[in-house]
Structure 1
Amino acid sequence: MCAKSHTPVFDWDDLRSFLAVVRAGRLTTAALQLQIDHSTLSRRICALEASLQVRLFDRLPTGYSLTPAGERLAAEAQAMESVAIRICSELSEAGRRMTGSIRLATPEGFGTYFLARQLHLFAEQYPEVKVELIANPGAVSLTKRQADIAVTMFRPESGPLRARKLADYEYGLYGSHEYLRTRPRLKTLGDAASHRLIGYIPDLLPTPAHDYLKEFFGNRQADLQISNILTQLSATLDGYGLCVLPCFMADTHPELARVLPQTVCLTRSYWWVTHAELRAPALVRAMKSFLEEATARSRSALMPSASFGQALAGRPAGAASPMDAPASDDLSLP
């Protein structure tokens, strides 16, 4: 424990600093997030420990680890933070101009090929809002408030979170025109036996739902195994072989052709997720509305087969049906 301070009580800044270290796990990382010098942050933690006369952290070579007393304080501090956030938002949101920053975490394919190409529209509507886009949802924790909104490929199972289905999207089997010209023609799924396949490394699947090849090719392993979708797309463009790709990504590349569309067609879903206690409710609502409008506008790109079927049936592509309605909000996931 640090040397005892003359400060008789702690202040809120010390508690905020404590929470930043809890969430970051390292003093230097937390200081960077708070935009203060790490020595200043260290003094605040020392002052808090001295005021409470307890050791809150074990200083380890790998980072700061909470002691039992620190764990108890973390729970109370997070509850106090939630109250402060709610008070600030309720008292000042009505008269507040839309300014500030909002951080989103998304899958790399969605962030790179969809959202990044739409955000100029958000900027035109909210010119004083700064957007921070992390195209890797695994890099942040909503529970620890490291982002305001996450777009995920699955509904979270637990935590103080709110979740709602954002949109469905379609996958198909693609190969480059150059590659397909030099290989046997694909008439049935069995013909793929004479083709090279690109897929995920089995033990590095983002989720079990990403085991696309197993759905269509059984126990056959990919000839080229890659840990992320953008590199898989790059290998497909360069003519290595066939790959199951999101249509909204692959269809932007005229070098690629979709094969066996009636046979290899599967649907997955994106969800938006937020913390139950929002840091900036107005900004989060604005971004959620923008995401919902953007995905609704782009339904034909996200779900090309469904849009084609609707057109044949006489219903405008992108028109919602009862089956398309998103799931209700989950105010507190179990």
Structure 2
Amino acid sequence: MSMNWDDLRVFLAVARTESLSGAGRQLKIDPATVGRRIARLEEGLGVSLFAKSPQGYELTRDGGRLLAHAEAAEQAVSLGQDDLSGDGDERLKGVIRIGAPDGCANYVLPRVMARIAEDHPDLEMQIIAQPRLFNMSKREVDLFVSVSPPTSGRLLVQKITDYHLSLAAMRWYLEQHAEIAGLGDLQEHKLVGYVSDLIFDKELDYLEETGASEADYTSNSVSVQLNMIRAGLGLGVVHDFCLPFVPEMIRVLPQELRLKRAFYLVRHADDRKVERLSRFADVFCRRMRDEVDKLEREA
């Protein structure tokens, strides 16, 4: 049987989403059509590519063997598109999906996207904000921003920039509650932070550096934590790049507690030769550095 790219594209979508409905949403076709396409592919090859389980569609041994060839075909198609679009127009086009932790996604990336869009108006950028790590083998995103460099997997990792975090509270909250002259005074106040068992990266565990063992009000979302502090529930560790968005929120004990972390850009190793993604990564990192620096100076 001769396989065409459309069949392999459907196969890849099911392999990565582990469901017909997920693949259908990704490809914008009906799940029943996805099922028929997979059945036709299996019939033509004379093997079973997926095993249905309570968790979804799992690759069989033959499916795993086909996956490597399908991903190679995907890369070849991408490289071919890059080559054919190299017509002297330096502007980026098409769709690029970026994953990021929600703090970065909410407060930095929209500004970054706006700057990139000025020079590349035909580029469609999608931001996926998730308080977790992304699975590049399933191609959930084209690239993602991480707060620590991954140490496993076939990935390309480059540092984007350092950023800072500070203990912060609303000005009116500080005027109405006990004075804070040192970290020891924090025991008289409520703290806002992450849900401890939902911290997906060790770099997000800030509480130890405040001297507190646990937070009183918690969320897995940076944006929710920021709004908890804004509502006067207590103090919390806040990204400096968030502070310009809440003018009445101010740093507390800035000389005693200011944390430094870093953002990293992560891509699949197979995308090393995809010129469009490499160009985007360069532009993206430059704009990220500019925007983080600008927001921190405004804080």
Q: Does 1:157 align with 2:118?
A: no
Which of 1 and 2 has greater Rg?
1
Tell me if the contact between 1:137 and 1:152 (Cα under 8 Å) persists in the aligned partners: no
Q: Does 1:92 align with 2:84?
A: yes
Of stretches 106-115 and 274-283 in structure 1, the one that deviates more from structure 2 is 274-283
Q: Which residue of 2 aligns with 1:330?
A: none
Would the alpha carbon gap of residues 45 and 235 (structure 1) be closer, same or farther in structure 2, given more than 3 Å must change?
same
Q: Deviations over 1:133-169 (max 9, x none)?
A: 1122637432222211211111111222211000100
Q: Does 1:205 align with 2:205?
A: no
Tell me if the contact between 1:101 and 1:129 (Cα under 8 Å) persists in the aligned partners: yes
Residue 226 of structure 1: which of 219, 226, 229 is its match?
Answer: 219
Tell me if the contact between 2:16 and 2:137 (Cα under 8 Å) persists in the aligned partners: no
Q: Which residue of 1 aligns with 2:58?
A: 65
**Number of matched pairs:** 297
Percent identical pairs in the alignment equals 34
Q: Does 1:107 align with 2:81?
A: no
Q: Does 1:76 align with 2:63?
A: no
Displacement of 1:274 in angstroms is 1.3
Displacement of 1:237 in angstroms is 0.5
Q: Does 1:132 align with 2:126?
A: yes
Q: Deviations over 1:45-79 (max 9, x none)?
A: 11111111111111234421112221222223223
Q: Does 1:10 align with 2:10?
A: no
Would the alpha carbon gap of residues 84 and 129 (structure 1) be closer, same or farther in structure 2, given more than 3 Å must change?
closer
Q: Which residue of 1 aligns with 2:263?
A: 270
TM-score w.r.t. length of structure 1: 0.82
Residue 56 of structure 1 aligns with an amino acid whose one-letter code is L
Tell me if the contact between 1:102 and 1:283 (Cα under 8 Å) persists in the aligned partners: no
Structure with higher helix content: 2
SS of alignment partner, residue 132 of structure 2: helix
Displacement of 1:281 in angstroms is 3.5
Would the alpha carbon gap of residues 300 and 36 (structure 1) be closer, same or farther in structure 2, given more than 3 Å must change?
closer
Would the alpha carbon gap of residues 80 and 286 (structure 1) be closer, same or farther in structure 2, given more than 3 Å must change?
closer
Would the alpha carbon gap of residues 137 and 241 (structure 1) be closer, same or farther in structure 2, given more than 3 Å must change?
closer
Displacement of 1:278 in angstroms is 2.8
Q: Which residue of 1 aligns with 2:29?
A: 36
Residue 84 of structure 2 aligns with an amino acid whose one-letter code is S
> What pairs with 1:252-263 in structure 2 (closer than 5 Å)?
252-263=245-256
C-alpha RMSD over aligned residues: 2.4
In 1: Cα distance, 2:191 partner to 2:131 partner: 27
TM-score w.r.t. length of structure 2: 0.90
Tell me if the contact between 1:171 and 1:244 (Cα under 8 Å) persists in the aligned partners: yes
In 2: Cα distance, 1:9 partner to 1:300 partner: 53
In 2: Cα distance, 1:259 partner to 1:129 partner: 41
Would the alpha carbon gap of residues 263 and 139 (structure 1) be closer, same or farther in structure 2, given more than 3 Å must change?
closer
Of stretches 22-31 and 276-285 in structure 1, the one that deviates more from structure 2 is 276-285
Displacement of 1:105 in angstroms is 0.8
Tell me if the contact between 2:112 and 2:284 (Cα under 8 Å) persists in the aligned partners: no
Q: Does 1:214 align with 2:195?
A: no
Q: Which residue of 2 aligns with 1:5?
A: none
In 2: Cα distance, 1:155 partner to 1:137 partner: 16
Q: Which residue of 2 aligns with 1:4?
A: none
Displacement of 1:92 in angstroms is 1.7
In 2: Cα distance, 1:235 partner to 1:284 partner: 37
In 2: Cα distance, 1:154 partner to 1:139 partner: 10
Tell me if the contact between 2:48 and 2:62 (Cα under 8 Å) persists in the aligned partners: yes
SS of alignment partner, residue 278 of structure 1: helix
Residue 277 of structure 2: which of 267, 279, 284 is its match?
Answer: 284
Q: Which residue of 2 aligns with 1:328?
A: none
Q: Which residue of 2 aligns with 1:244?
A: 237
Q: Does 1:190 align with 2:191?
A: no
Displacement of 1:264 in angstroms is 0.8
Residue 48 of structure 1: which of 41, 45, 48 is its match?
Answer: 41
Q: Which residue of 2 aligns with 1:323?
A: none
Would the alpha carbon gap of residues 300 and 150 (structure 1) be closer, same or farther in structure 2, given more than 3 Å must change?
closer
SS of alignment partner, residue 117 of structure 1: helix
Q: Deviations over 1:234-284 (max 9, x none)?
A: 010111111011111024311111110011111010001112233994442
Q: Does 1:25 align with 2:18?
A: yes
**Structure 1 stretches lacking a partner, 5+ long:** 1-7, 309-334
In 1: Cα distance, 2:178 partner to 2:131 partner: 39
Would the alpha carbon gap of residues 64 and 295 (structure 1) be closer, same or farther in structure 2, given more than 3 Å must change?
closer
SS of alignment partner, residue 284 of structure 2: helix
**Structure 2 stretches lacking a partner, 5+ long:** none
